[in-house]
Structure 1
């Protein structure tokens, strides 16, 4: 019997049976997600799956992977990659999701995690839990027959196809050797690699991996699969150590016989692909989508870890109704950031601060949306401080 007055309870799930049950709850919550019978523990980091209960029944779940994230300036901070958040459709709007997200946030902070990010299935949900859109990506399609790289673009490395038996191990080795350092990049856990592999196998469609660089010292790879028609391929993962490796793999993709279109499911907003071509018009933008939803778990640690630009300074007040220690004022200037007892000059909630943290959203945009209060003449100063040389981009879906 449904009891609308019941209070949700949340706990970490420990046994394989509980983790399997939680994955089934998530699968039902995200209508249409294919099952992975008996494999949930392989794709779940131990001690990171939460269960939400009403009247003793498991009705919701949230999980995460423990990784690091690269912030402006290059520092790598402890990070929770939040995933598999869902509540049964029969038990929504009863506080289960909020209880799960708050419990997960509290646990992360206790473990010294500074930042949490997620990929949102729905856009109107996660701001209420303190997450802001900190980075976006572009989905683009390239008419490969007309995509010619400029003569000055480097990239003559030999490209070879990985043997299917070695492909997943090789991708992971290359990713870890490169250790991506762009703003927004994260490390990938063994469980993450397992779920990607299982999803590809479950799709029952060919998946190819091409690598460049000498064996044992590869400098990049691209994983791709054929689209519904026989004249297109979709790039699932493209990781390179430098521009030479990237150009080599792009040349390869644009030269595949019988392929007319190469679709990129995720490019950074400032990706140089267009200007690398003799003619930009073969590149067609299909959409701009939110990628990084960021939550500052420890505002003080996160602000202190990134770098700032310009010569100005500003005192920012932060409102956080969930993590009380985050609330307060922070002095921010070119030398860094630190808590202060000074009165705030600009005030934002923690979700808005998360949105500007990586430089992917500007203070000017927040102010235009009515999300900044205080002395708005200091908004340009804040934008100068938080500006970054490159657009934030993760490139890892979880």
Structure 2
């Protein structure tokens, strides 16, 4: 008989993590990756379900700060490492862990929980909504030309050891965080994620490489990437696999992209995770030859509706009453009056007649400004109860830039 979800003891971490590996296909992770995640794990925020002496369910949370519209970093539980042993599926283990976890998040005073899902259909029933997307591409450098902005030639590029450049790269990253919703403020230890480079995961490619962009002696951008040289009947046909690309401005970004597209013996530049409004799409001569693909990424759950809606800013003045349904966290159920202006936002309980009706899942999807409430209404997931309220609220919830999660967790 299984136990309820219990807080993980640090000495049980190896068994706990091995069950997670089993749930994700049974292939052990590289020692370097396993060691890093052991250091990053917060045992007091991690849950285990036991069947006797055997762990059969795992779930955890990281203590993150996530940028919301307006540039403010707010506390959020980064839900992670969720798995159930194949022998114990369909026994309510996942639901019990989600119940315990959201209760714990609420008790800690965090208004948000966020996650990335291996299967996106799982978490909607627990109130999570897909809030960010990512675009990937494969730029055919033999067929695609770049048009770069003025000042690109003034940017100096310098190849460096990735670890030796870690501090300056983190400084560049930190300057970008406030400008885009969904980005994570990297706490100590998380900078190591960008350096993970186990030899067994290189797929015939080079070790991780790093190039800095500099202007007037200051580091203003960086790329981390790997080259995978191959040859076909027509000659060299290699691929550049881009891990990270961060830049402080258009010229710096273009200089780094131009460098990637000009590496000898490489024909394809593979971008695996970029914002849907990323600049490369406007620099290439032929977007179709870059084969862009869009996929869901970060899911958001409002644990405390009132507090969460007060933490972000809004693009336009707003005074709207929301009728919110939330079967899994019933403390959020009911009517909330959201008022916002240039000075801030307030969200409080009300008995006034509602203007919009929606579930907490739709609020999570729209929270970072990348998913339109009007689009959700077109799918029947938001109901307009006062004429004009939908357009007004949808506009106010929007973001000038697309939200984006730069890396998983």
Give the TM-score of the pair, scaled to structure 2: 0.87
How far did 1:303 drift? 0.6
Shift of 1:361: 1.4
SS in 1 for 2:408: coil
Higher mean C-alpha deviation, range 198-207 or range 68-77: 198-207
1:66–1:202 CA distance, 2 compared to 1 (3 A):
farther
Matched residues in 1 for 2:178 and 2:290: separation? 27
- Give the aligned partner of residue 347 of structure 2: 338
**More off after superposition, 261-270 vs 321-330:** 321-330
Contact map agreement 1:81 1:116 (CA 8 A) in 2: yes
Partners of 2:318 and 2:215 in 1: how far apart?
47
CA distance in 2, matches of 1:353, 1:89: 33
Residue of 394, 400, 405 corresponding to 1:383: 394
Deviations 1:197-223 (A, max 9, x none): 445455255211111126984222111
- For residues 291-302 of structure 1, the aligned pairs below 5 Å read 291-302=297-308
CA pair 345-330 structure 1, distance change in 2 beyond 3 A: same
CA contact (8 A) 1:184 1:394 kept: yes
Q: CA deviation at 1:135?
A: 1.0
Check whether the contact 2:321–2:338 (CA below 8 A) recurs between aligned residues.
yes
In the TM superposition, residue 376 of structure 1 has moved relative to its aligned partner by 6.6
> Which shows bigger deviation, 208-217 or 55-64?
208-217
Q: Provide closer, same or farther for how the CA distance between residues 317 and 104 of structure 1 changes in structure 2, counting only shifts above 3 A.
A: same
Question: 1:235–1:264: 8 Å Cα contact kept in structure 2?
Answer: yes
- Give the match for residue 127 of structure 1: 124
Q: CA deviation at 1:25?
A: 0.8
Residue aligning to 1:192: 190
Q: Which residue of 1 aligns with 2:233?
A: none
Q: 8 Å contact 1:330–1:337 — kept in the other structure? A: no
Shift in Å at residue 73 of structure 1? Answer: 1.2
Q: Is the 8 A contact 1:50 1:100 kept in 2?
A: yes
Q: 1: distance between equivalents of 2:136 and 2:382? A: 30
1:100-119 equivalence runs, <5 A: 100-119=97-116
The TM-score, its normalising length taken from structure 1, stands at: 0.89
SS in 2 for 1:260: strand
For the Cα contact (< 8 Å) 2:7–2:43, is it kept in 1? no
State the partner residue of 1:163. 161
Residue of structure 1 equivalent to 2:243: 236
Distance verdict in 2 for CA 1:153–1:261, change over 3 Å: farther
Deviation at 1:318, TM superposition (A): 1.5
CA distance in 1, matches of 2:174, 2:108: 24
1:305 matched to which residue of 2? Answer: 311
2:66 to 66, 69, 84: 69
Counterpart in 2 of 1:357? 367
Partner of 2:265: 258
Counterpart of 1:218 in 2: which secondary structure? strand
1:19 aligns with 2:13: yes
Any idea what SS the aligned residue of 1:339 has?
strand
1:181 matched to 2:188? The reply is: no
The answer to whether the aligner puts 1:44 opposite 2:50 as a matched pair is no
Query: Aligned with 1:47: secondary structure?
Result: helix
Contact 2:30–2:198 (CA<8 Å) still a contact in 1?
no
**Residue 25 of structure 2 corresponds to which residue in structure 1?**
31
Distance 1:137 1:197, change over 3 A: same
SS of 2:394's partner is helix
The aligned length equals: 391
Cα offset, 1:77, TM superposition: 0.6
Contact kept in structure 1, 2:229 and 2:266, CA below 8 Å: no
Aligned mate of 2:274, from 259, 267, 273: 267
User: What is the aligned partner in structure 2 of residue 397 from structure 1?
Assistant: 408
- Superposed CA RMSD in Å reads 2.5
- Determine the C-alpha separation between the residues in 1 that align with 2:177 and 2:68: 14
C-alpha deviations, 1:271-322, integer Å up to 9, x for none?
2222223x23475234210011111122212211212233553211212223
Kindly provide the CA deviation profile for residues 133-166 of structure 1, in whole angstroms up to 9, marking residues without a partner as x: 1111111111224444335343332111221552
Supply the distance in 2 between the matched residues of 1:104 and 1:199 (Cα, whole angstroms).
32
User: Which residue of structure 1 lines up, in the alignment, with residue 227 of structure 2?
Assistant: 226
Q: How many angstroms does 1:238 deviate by?
A: 1.4
Deviations along 1:45-81, one digit per CA (max 9) or x if unpaired, are 3422211234553111112221211111111111222
Which sits farther off after the overlay, 305-314 or 377-386? 305-314
